[in-house]
Structures are given as structure tokens and as C-alpha cells.
Amino acid sequence: MAALTPIFRTPVTFYVPVVAAAGAFAGLFVGTAQGSGLLGIIAGAALLAILALAGTRLVDNEKAVRWGIVALFVVGGWLIGGAPGLVLGLGWFFGWFTFWTYEGRYRAKLPPYLTQGQVLWHYAFRVICGAILVFLITPILVVMPLSFNAEDFFTFTPEMLRFDPAGYSLKHYRDFFTNDDWQQALRNSVMIAPVATFLSVSFGTLAAIGLSSEHVPFRRAIMAILISPMIVPLIISAAGMYFFYSRIGLQGTYLGVVLAHAALGIPFVIITVTATLVGFDRSLTRAAANMGADPVTTFFRVQMPLILPGVISGGLFAFITSFDEVVVVLFVGSAGQKTLPWQMFTGLREQISPTILAVATILVGISICLLTVVEMLRRRSERLRGMSPS
């Protein structure tokens, strides 16, 4: 590829500090891994500033500069023990980023009347959102490869860092599926979560339909009370349930745990079903009543098919809440109702077992699948209400 001849080139005082800032951000992670985050920031900023200035002033050929930065990153990654694939991608990105800012291509898809401050905020906002997403997702992503650790450690071994197959194993997954304690906890979770979800969906749907009517007195106060389990700190709800259930004989029973989890799941069902009912045409129920349908038939034949996406979404959220809940079951349950999160908590407190990492990875996979279903249902609900063309 021949050297590019851009129409507009930004001044050195702009693109060099921007590239240096990106290098400082990358250097923060590299330096932290090597034991000094501050040194990584300084070295990353200085290195990228020099490369940006030299690449644009001395070479001015994007392809050549990219390959040069890639070569430098590979050599540097090999010296500090980094993954070759990772440093290869970073080198290619920084080569592109240098010319993207130098040639002013960052303004290509933006309105020409935006000021420099508005352009800066446009990209700064996206960088901030991306950084927040990275810091939220990274702890989850770290758990997944650690669950394949061949050793009984909670850290990456040298073999894993070298991508040596000997450093990876399925031993923790085998322990989960063969250990009696883990399997009993899994059976308890499977026995509790579906029943609690069924109760949450039943009561939550009826409550949402009733509270969506403008003729219900004190409906705002009732709504606030019903969704209070989402607002009140969980430890307070758990303590209250413990004292109440111990009075009526439900503390330490299967029914008590199911009812407690159902109470936690009802707010999710109410919120999702209420949101679905916002676009519901109530003239349909009146038309069904005029044609002789009783309220039960009207609900199942007319209303339920239209609000079904919201009901299923609320049910999925209620299921996830019950399946992942540990605080309430510690107060309300007994050793006979030890659920999977409870077993994980016990494993962290009493015996450090890496099997927890395998269980956490499985739960993350289940949650991703359920949230994908929720998103599909949300889009289907929008199509049914005419809010989305596709």
C-alpha cells in the first residue's frame, strides 16, 4: 500500500499527547503486572509518544509504521514474558490509532460543525463507557481460564501463562460432577429455584395486572411495598424473614426457603410485566367481555399472549435471583437446604477449593444464556407493540 496523502493533518500538539495517553493506559496494565503501575504509565506514554512522532515525521507510511510497531511490541512482549498474540494485536492497534488521529480520520463520520471540545467529549464518553465495561467484565473473564487450572491454585501458573497444555485440566469440573456435596447442593438449587420462580411469576403477574388499573386505590403505595425487596438491603430482609419464619415454624424448611426466594423474585416480575402492560390495548379485554368471555378466559386467551414476553422475562430474572441467592438461604434454610451458592460460600470460608471456579464458570454460562433469552423476548415484545420495525 502506497503512502497515504491525507487532506488534513492534525498538529503535533494534539495527536502526540492523545497517542501518549492511550499508551499510558496500556502501560498501566503492563506495569501493574510487572509490579509497578506508575512506571508502566510513564514508560507507555513516553514510548508511544516517541513512536507516534517518529512514525509520522520520519516515515509517514501507515503500513510500514504499523509493522514496525508490531515488531517492537513482539520483541518487548517476548522480553517481559507477555503473550505474543496479545502484543501483536496491541502493536497493530497503536499503529492504526497513530495515523487515525494524525490524519484527522476521527472526524470523518462526525458533523463538521462540532467544536474540538464536542469531538473530544464524543470519544471520551465512549472511552469511559468502555473502561467501565472492562473493569466490570474483567473479574468474570479471569475466573473462566482459572477454572481450567491443572493445579489447586487460584492464580495463573507459569504453564498457563506459556499456554502449555500441561497447565490446563478439567479436574475441577470432574470434581463438581462427582463430588456428593456439590451434587446435593445442585439438586437443592434445582428443587428450590423452579418452584420459587413459579410462585413469583404467578403472584407477580397478577399484582402487575391489578396495579396497572387506575381504579385501584393506593396503588402507588402498594407498588412501593411489593418492590421493596429490591431496595431494602438483603441482609435486613434476610434477618426479618428469619425472625418471622421462626415464629410460624417455617425457618429451616424447604417451604420457607421457597417462599423467601419467591418474595425476592416477585419485584422483578412486577416491573417487567408492568413495563409490558404500558403498550397493552385495554379495548381488547372489553371486546372479549362484550362477546361473552369470562375474566379467566379473557386473561388466558387475550391478555396473556400479548404480555407473555414480559412474563417470561420476569420469570427468568426471578429464576436467576433464586438460583444465585445465598444471604437469605443462610438465614432461612438449614443444612438440608444447602444450595449451590451456599456450598460455594462454605468452600471459600472453610476449605479453599478451586472447584468453586468451575462452578462459577458454569453459573456465568447459564446466566449469559438466560439473559440472551431475555433480550430476544424484549425485542419480540417491541415488535408486537409496533415499537421496532424488525
DSSP bridge pairs for 168: 149
Question: Domain for residue 228, yes or no?
Answer: yes
Q: What is the pTM assigned to this prediction? A: 0.69
Whether residue 368 is found in the same domain as residue 229: yes
Give the tens place of pLDDT for each residue, 243-267: 999 888 888 889 999 999 999 999 9
Task: Decide which of 68, 93, 109 is a domain's last residue.
Answer: 109
Total structural domains within the chain: 2
- Compute the average pLDDT of residues 291-313: 82
Q: What is the mean pLDDT of the chain?
A: 82
Q: Which domain holds residue 362?
A: 179-384
Length of the chain: 390
Whether residue 183 is found in the same domain as residue 69: no
CATH number for the domain that contains residue 314? 1.10.3720.10
Backbone angles phi, psi at 154, to 5 degrees: -100, 15
Among residues 204, 330, 343, the alpha carbon closest in space to that of 274 is found at 204
Task: Say if residue 217 is exposed, middle or buried (CB neighbours under 10 Å; 0-12, 13-18, 19+).
Answer: exposed
Give the tens place of pLDDT for each residue, 168-204: 888 889 988 888 888 999 999 999 999 999 999 999 9
Give the other-Cβ count within 10 Å of 339's Cβ: 28
DSSP bridge pairs for 149: 168
Higher pLDDT, 47 or 76: 47
Res. 387 pLDDT band, cuts 50 70 90: low
> What is the crossing angle of helices 12-34 and 37-54, to 10°?
140
Helices marked H in 8-115: 12-34, 37-54, 62-80, 84-102
Contact 308, 186 (CB under 8 A): no
Higher pLDDT, 388 or 253: 253
Cell numbers linked to 308: 407473555
